[in-house]
C-alpha cells in the first residue's frame, strides 16, 4: 500500500504562486510537514516536491521527461518554442552536446577576458556619469561581450535595445499582463535579429569563426543529420546569448550583498583562499532567481512510498531547497563560508538545476555564470570605488524574477586600477 500524497486545499496554486512568489511552496511543505503535496497548477493536477532527495528523482531521466512540461506562455517569452529545454532522450543528448561543446576551458577563458575588458572600459565611462544604474549597465556590458564571443555582430547603437530585450525575456517568466507582453515583444524583436544572423551565415553573407556559438548553431546537424530549421537555430543561439546577459541579475545581487554585508568586501579585496568563489556561490544560493522547475512523470514509479503516475506534472521547489534548514544551517543568513565544506552534491545546490550536465537538463552555462560573477566581483571590489546613494533597494519575493526596485544605483565612481 502506498501513502496518499497530502492534498493542498487551494483550488489552483497558480494564482497563489503569482501573488505570494518564491516562499509559497516552502510554506506549504512546512504546513503539511512533508516534502510532497498535490495541488492544481495552470488547471492541471500537479505534485510539488522539495529537497535534496526530491531533486535526485527529478533529475533521473528514466523517471521524468520534459515534453509539454513548459507552459507555452513561458516558451513564448523566456526561452523560445521547442528548444533544448523541451527535449528528451537521444535528441536532447545530441542537442546538449552542442551546447556543452562551447563550454571548453579555452572558450570560457576567452569570454572572461572579453568581459574583463568591457568592465574596464565601462568603469572609465561610469567615472563621467552622475549616477550609474548598475543592472542596466552590466546588462549592456555583458551583452557586448556575449555577442563578441559568440561572433554575433552588434552595433554599438543597438546595444541598449538588444541587452534590454534579453533582460525583458527573462523578466517575463513569472508575469501576467504588461511584463509578459513586454517579454513577448522583446522575443519577437530578438528572433528577427538573430534569425537574420543565422540566414546570413548560411548564405555566406556573414562569415563567423568556427567554434563560436553563431557558427555552431548555424551548422549543427540533429540526430538525423539535418540542419536545424532557421527558427530552431535562432532559438538555440538565443539560448546562449540571453542567459549570459541574465548574469547581470546575479551581478546586481552580488553588488547588493557587498553593500549590505560589507565585511565581505575586505576579504574579497585580500582575495584569500579563493573567497570569490565561495562568495558567488552564496549569492546564487541566497538570492532568488528560479522559483520552480517542471517535468512530467515518464513512467509509473514509487518514491518514499508515494505513487507517481505516468503523465503527472511535477514541480521541484528550487528556491525552497536552497533555503532548507536541513541542508543549509541558518539558511536566511548570508554566509559564503558555508561553501568551504560543501561536498559538491549535484542535488542540494540547484540554483541552475541539478544532476548531470550531459544526460540531464542542468544548466549548460553554470560554469560561465560562476566565472562571470567572479570577474564582476573582482572589478567591483578591486578596480573601482563608488558610493551607494539612498534608493529603494526593496526586492519583492512576490515578483518573479525579483530585482531591486532601483536596479541598484551607484555614484561617484572612481577607477582604482
Q: Which of residues 281-340 bind ligand HEM (CB under 6 A)?
A: 289-290, 293
Cβ 372 to ligand HEM shortest distance, Å: 7
Q: Please give the order of strands across the beta sheet that includes 409-415.
A: 131-133, 409-415, 384-387
- Choose between 8 and 171: whose C-beta lies nearer to ligand HEM: 171
Omega before residue 335 within 30° of 0, cis? no
Q: Cα 357 from chain centroid?
A: 15
Q: Which residue stretch of 28-36, 148-156, 257-265, 359-367 sits at the interface with ligand HEM (rule: CB under 6 A)? A: 359-367
Rounded Cα distance between 227 and 219, Å, is: 6
Cβ 3 to ligand HEM shortest distance, Å: 27
- Choose between 36 and 217: whose C-beta lies nearer to ligand HEM: 217
- Name the residue among 372, 365, 369, 326 with its Cα closest to residue 345: 326
- Name the residue among 95, 101, 188, 206 with its Cα closest to residue 152: 206
Q: For 261-362, where are the alpha helices, taking DSSP H only? A: 263-270, 275-286, 318-322
Determine if 364 is a binding residue for ligand HEM (CB under 6 A).
yes
Q: Which of residues 23-52 bind ligand HEM (CB under 6 A)?
A: none
Task: Name the 3-class secondary structure at 49.
Answer: strand
Nearest-CB residue for ligand HEM = 365
Q: Which of residues 95-134 bind ligand HEM (CB under 6 A)?
A: 96, 99
Q: Which of residues 210-239 bind ligand HEM (CB under 6 A)?
A: 239
Determine if 361 is a binding residue for ligand HEM (CB under 6 A).
yes
Cβ 293 to ligand HEM shortest distance, Å: 5
Determine if 369 is a binding residue for ligand HEM (CB under 6 A).
yes
Among 331, 336, 353, 404, binds ligand HEM (CB under 6 A): 353
Cβ 338 to ligand HEM shortest distance, Å: 19
Q: Which of residues 235-274 bind ligand HEM (CB under 6 A)?
A: 239-240, 243-244, 246-247, 249-250
Cell of 226: 539535418
Query: What does the DSSP assignment read for 65-133?
Result: E-TTTS-HHHIIIII-TT-GGG--HHHHHHHHHHHHTT--HHHHHHHHHHHHHHHHHHHHHHHT-SEEE
Site string for ligand HEM, 57-96 (x = CB under 6 A): ---------------------------xx----------x
Q: What are phi and psi of 224, to 5 degrees?
A: -95, 5
How many angstroms separate the Cα of 242 from the Cα of each of 27, 169, 234, 247, 365?
Answer: 32, 8, 12, 9, 11
Rounded Cα distance between 25 and 288, Å, is: 13
- Choose between 278 and 372: whose C-beta lies nearer to ligand HEM: 372
Q: By CB under 6 A, name the binding residues for ligand HEM.
A: 84-85, 96, 99, 239-240, 243-244, 246-247, 249-250, 289-290, 293, 351-353, 361-365, 368-369
Amino acid at each position: 500500500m502506498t501513502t496518499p500524497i497530502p492534498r493542498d486545499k487551494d483550488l489552483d496554486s497558480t494564482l497563489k504562486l503569482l501573488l505570494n512568489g518564491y516562499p509559497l511552496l516552502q510554506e506549504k511543505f512546512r504546513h503539511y510537514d512533508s516534502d510532497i503535496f498535490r495541488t492544481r497548477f495552470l488547471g492541471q493536477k500537479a505534485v510539488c516536491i522539495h529537497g535534496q532527495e526530491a531533486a535526485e528523482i527529478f533529475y533521473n531521466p528514466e523517471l521524468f521527461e520534459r515534453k509539454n512540461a513548459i507552459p507555452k506562455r513561458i516558451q513564448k517569452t523566456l526561452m523560445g518554442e521547442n528548444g533544448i529545454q523541451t527535449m528528451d532522450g537521444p535528441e536532447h543528448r545530441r542537442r546538449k552536446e552542442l551546447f556543452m561543446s562551447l563550454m571548453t576551458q579555452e572558450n570560457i577563458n576567452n569570454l572572461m577576458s572579453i568581459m574583463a575588458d568591457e568592465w574596464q572600459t565601462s568603469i572609465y565611462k561610469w567615472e563621467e556619469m552622475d549616477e550609474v544604474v548598475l543592472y542596466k549597465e552590466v546588462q549592456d556590458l555583458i551583452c557586448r561581450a556575449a555577442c563578441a564571443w559568440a561572433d554575433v555582430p552588434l552595433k554599438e547603437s543597438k546595444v541598449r535595445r538588444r541587452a534590454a530585450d534579453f533582460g525583458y525575456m527573462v523578466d517575463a517568466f513569472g508575469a501576467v499582463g504588461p511584463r509578459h507582453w513586454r517579454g513577448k515583444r522583446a522575443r519577437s524583436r530578438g528572433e528577427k535579429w538573430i534569425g537574420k544572423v543565422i540566414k546570413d551565415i548560411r548564405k555566406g553573407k556573414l562569415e563567423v569563426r568556427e567554434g563560436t556559438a553563431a557558427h555552431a548553431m548555424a551548422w549543427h546537424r540533429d540526430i538525423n543529420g539535418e540542419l536545424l530549421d532557421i527558427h530552431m537555430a535562432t532559438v538555440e543561439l538565443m539560448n546562449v546569448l540571453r542567459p549570459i546577459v541574465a548574469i547581470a541579475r546575479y551581478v546586481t545581487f552580488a553588488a547588493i550583498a557587498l553593500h549590505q554585508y560589507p565585511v565581505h568586501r575586505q576579504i574579497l579585496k585580500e582575495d584569500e583562499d579563493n573567497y570569490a568563489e565561495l562568495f558567488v556561490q552564496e549569492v546564487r544560493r541566497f538570492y532568488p532567481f528560479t522559483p520552480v522547475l517542471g517535468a512530467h512523470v515518464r513512467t509509473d514509479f514509487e518514491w518514499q512510498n508515494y505513487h507517481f503516475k505516468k503523465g503527472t506534472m511535477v514541480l521541484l521547489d528550487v528556491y525552497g531547497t536552497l533555503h532548507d534548514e536541513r541542508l543549509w544551517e541558518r539558511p536566511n543568513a548570508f554566509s559564503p563560508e558555508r561553501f568551504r565544506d560543501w561536498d559538491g552534491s549535484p542535488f542540494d545546490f540547484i540554483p541552475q538545476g541539478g544532476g548531470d550536465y550531459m544526460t540531464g537538463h542542468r544548466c549548460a552555462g553554470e560554469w560561465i555564470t560562476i566565472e562571470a560573477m567572479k570577474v564582476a566581483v573582482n572589478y567591483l571590489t578591486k578596480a573601482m570605488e563608488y558610493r551607494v546613494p539612498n534608493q529603494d533597494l526593496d526586492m519583492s519575493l512576490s515578483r518573479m524574477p525579483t530585482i531591486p526596485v532601483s536596479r541598484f544605483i551607484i555614484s561617484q565612481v572612481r577607477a582604482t586600477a
